[in-house]
Amino acid sequence: MGIEDASMRNGRALSDQWADSVVVRPRTTEQHITVNKRLVLGFAISILTLIVVTAIAITLSVSFEKCAAESSGALAANGSSNSKWKQSRDANISHRDSEDGQEPWRHLRLPATLRPRHYDLRLSVSMENFTFSGEVRIEFECVQSTKLIVLHTDRLEVEKVLVYSDSKKAGAMRIQRRFHYQPKQVYVIALHREMKPLRTYKINITFHAHIEHELLGFFRSSYVLNGERRFLAVTQFSPTHARKAFPCFDEPIYKATFRVSLKHESSYQSLSNMPVEASTSDEDGWVTNHFSRTPRMSTYYLAWAVCNFTYREAVTDSVVIRLYARPDAIQSGSGDYALHITKRLLRFYQDYFKVKYSLPKLDLLAVPKHPYAAMENWGLSVFVEQKILLDPDISSFSYQMELTMVVVHEICHQWFGDLVTPVWWEDVWLKEGFAHYFEYIGTDYLFPKWNMEKQRFLTDVLHEVMLLDGLASSHPISQEVFEATDIDRVFDWIAYKKGAALIRMLANVMGQPLFQRGLNDYLMTHMYGNAARDDLWNKFSETMQREGKDINITQVMDRWTLQMGYPVVTISKNDSLDNSVTISQEHFVYDTDAKIQNPELFNKSFQWQIPLTLAVGNSSHISTETIIWVSNKTETHRVGHMDGETWLLGNINQTGYFRVNYDLHNWILLIQQLKTNPTIISVGNRAGLIDDVFNLARAGYLPQNVPLQMISYLSQETEFLPWHAASRALYQLDKLLDRTEDHSLFSDYVLRQVEPKYHKLGWPATSPEGSFMQAAYQTEELQREVMMLACSFGNKHCHRQAVSLISDWISSNKNRIPPNVRDIVYCTGVSLMDEDVWEFIWMKFHSSTAISEKKVLLEALTCSDNIFLLNRLLNLSLTSDLVPDQDVIDVIIHVGRNPLGRHLAWRYFREKWDILNSRYGEALFMNSKLISGVTEFLNTEAELNELKEFILTSGGESAPAFARAIEIVQANVKWHVLFQQQFYRWLQKALDG
């Protein structure tokens, strides 16, 4: 909700004709004048006429603005489709040739007639009453003749506007009118005379606004130190919220330099993208920091903060790195780990990209509340505390890994995003996909034994996003943006995870040396500017051609970025031709009925150019892989020698973004191979086979018993990754089955596969002194995965062990539970033990100062089998300042994952929707997570109808997350109708046998 502009309240937003006709005349002093009656009468009529005309004009003016607001949606959609920017760096000049109807403020995009060069921004920030005032001076170039200056403002009270020309003519240019057009969050200044091309101009705007509690724009947050509540204010401008803090050209293409000055109480300090250049103090106890001029950058990467934090510092290659946080967190050393890895990462990225980091400093700021995990502002990256503060003695490995990857992601953005920025939001994956891919490459550099890119990438990125992208409600990775609301929606797992998966596929096709060379060319060519996907593809194609490899990367990759979804590649032995296989591709969709229900979407012929790697093997040997480019719906290819016992394996190490299916005989051979000698097949492919077989069965491509037969080999599996892939698939099935009468059959079957490995691995070992000894990473992760499955599916030994450890903690008040399994132990203990244990965990949550421990404790409270306690937790989470915003969402989702709390979470979500939506509505990523988290377990016809009715009454029909929710629940219902009986019949036979 924007602040109504003063000029519109006072009737200033009038038509040009009305503005030209109004003349303000000076008053005269009273004089003794003799007039006759006719003159008086004529004068009275004139005055009356003038009053009537004025009233009519004002009425028409108000109606005009009201009409403009009501019609803005349709007109903007129209205008945006006519003003598509070209896929090039110079799109800001050429994407519109005129002001299109003389009302460019109605469009989604700013008119391309002006281009900012530099901003001088001076702000005065009051932390006493949470307000700020400012003056911005923007130097801009006129590209095309125009009388109009259109820039973004939202929630700002504009006080004064002056426009100056660079010509010798002194004084400000005459302003005809100015007004705020809220539907498009723009401020319009109409001049009396045109600005001329190739000339520079300056605009001065003074304004003021509130430092909002909402976590967007320039917002405030707080924390408690030594019993005293302290406040800070920080910015979050991505994607379209810089306009909430100062008037600006708030689109990525409009890069400019910035010089920021911040005035505030001297008890606070201030930070911005660049170092402090000078500082002055006033007699009234205020200080002003003047920051150095930035490089050319987009508005949404500008940042500042006013706080009373302290910091730790490191220096590398003349770059000063500081981590700012609450004084107690800095004192305890919670920020040291992130500071240490950031120092190493700056060197890694500079060596990998062969492009030097551009700024003299890099600050990492840990804030108590933030709408996202982190934001990569150039030189001042902002993190929510849970994603950057680490307490090494009590943090689990999974917490350390997640924190590491968030830091790796944000530091990568200093190149992909900050240095080279996407032209427009439709290609946001150009920065987010790269940063997500390099989470795994960068973490491999820091910790090679974790084997992130070759292993965890598969389960945590590839398998996860393919679940989402297999829905009929998915969308292409490059999305057209027609309305401002579409901008937030492009920041989803398709942009992040699918982007990363496609980049990884391309890197494997090109080979790492050529991939790195192409990235270097791309960054060097477009640094301090903008780029579109074709700019990247062209650099990769040129790199390949220089090596004599004639692959048109644009032609290949457009199929993957401009089409939604992905293919399932089916490989079958060709009986009519020796040593030949038939390879076919089709669009993989979980619900095949969607193609019938939505013919407009599926009447296209979805087809991809697929880099299929293929190997043949038998019980003792596997061939080297060959690559086959599959372009047609069906193709025949010759491969190595095959006989009746030879199996085929496609998508070696799962480098491709697609699923692979085989004829049933080949599946049986692969299952037999896994049972007899699984190591013939790589770890990555073993995990990939598990993920593919479960999802192919879920979509009806395979009988339901095939995936269950495959996991019967797991007792022989010694590697973490296949177990991780299996557990993810089994938890998905458990959500479908846990309220069915025969659920115990499923639990018993899972435990039959898990218990041999559980008893072999045991629990973390103890030293003679009684402390737990840390094992190697892979061993510890495998042990944790098997323990979690055992406790979740009801292994009695696992339950007893967890209860014993909780009881020891309560009686001794010493927590001897290994950090890596605390979440399993806490959750199991809370679910099995009485209410006193829940109260004990709640007390520990309140008293703990370790961010990672608080998160684990809070999630453990959701495991209770007491509905009263779960309901209490939900209400406390939403109202308590102790629970960060991200954790409120996690509490609701985790209560929903508790079989006893599922209906409670669903009901609570519906009852509190207005509050939740107002809090997280603009942070769409969080809102989507919440919607999917509380609806994914619904699987009956009655629940599907409840969901549809709620969406209808809540006005959520247009939200993509609700469309996905409907499709997932429909698929759940359909699975029960089609496959539940078949599934349980096979399980019964397997258990009896």
Give the integer Cα–Cα distance in Å for 364 and 408. 12
Count of all residues that appear for the chain in the document: 993
Nearest CA to 886 out of 850, 849, 859 is that of 859
Query: The sheet that has 228-236: what strands, in order across it?
Result: 217-225, 228-236, 304-307, 269-272
Cis peptide before 239 (omega within 30 of 0): yes
Give the integer Cα–Cα distance in Å for 664 and 670. 10
Give the integer Cα–Cα distance in Å for 801 and 739. 27
Q: Collapse the DSSP code of 115 into the 3-class scheme (helix H, G, I; strand E, B; otherwise coil) and give the result.
A: strand
The three-point CA angle 981-987-992 to 5° equals: 125
Give the integer Cα–Cα distance in Å for 562 and 480. 10
Residue 43 burial (C-beta neighbours within 10 Å; 0-12, 13-18, 19+): exposed
Task: Provide the sign of the torsion angle of the four alpha carbons 362, 153, 165, 163, taken in this order.
Answer: negative
Q: Would you give the DSSP letter of residue 111? A: P
Give the integer Cα–Cα distance in Å for 327 and 366. 11
Give the integer Cα–Cα distance in Å for 482 and 80. 6
Give the integer Cα–Cα distance in Å for 256 and 117. 5
Give the integer Cα–Cα distance in Å for 983 and 993. 16
410 belongs to the catalytic site:
yes
In angstroms, the Cα distances linking 105 to 10, 94, 203, 580 are 20, 18, 18, 62
> Which are the contacts of 574, defined by CB distance < 8 A and separation ≥ 6?
580, 581, 582, 636
Q: Would you give the DSSP letter of residue 991? A: H
Nearest CA to 497 out of 553, 563, 405, 429 is that of 429
Kindly name the residue from 376, 410, 453, 755 that is annotated as catalytic: 410
Nearest CA to 238 out of 12, 425, 452, 474 is that of 425
Give the integer Cα–Cα distance in Å for 363 and 347. 16
In angstroms, the Cα distances linking 713 to 125, 618, 753 are 64, 17, 8
Give the integer Cα–Cα distance in Å for 76 and 355. 40
Q: Collapse the DSSP code of 269 into the 3-class scheme (helix H, G, I; strand E, B; otherwise coil) and give the result.
A: strand
Q: Which helix (H) or strand (E) holds 894?
A: helix 885-897
The three-point CA angle 502-505-511 to 5° equals: 135
Please name every residue paired with 583 in a beta bridge, in sequence order, or none if there are none.
Answer: 571, 635
HSE-up of 246 (CA within 13 Å, CB side)? 29
Give the integer Cα–Cα distance in Å for 784 and 805. 16
Structure tokens at 11: 């009737």
Give the integer Cα–Cα distance in Å for 361 and 965. 44
Q: Would you give the DSSP letter of residue 456? A: I
Structure tokens at 832: 């099995």
Provide the annotated active-site residues: 410
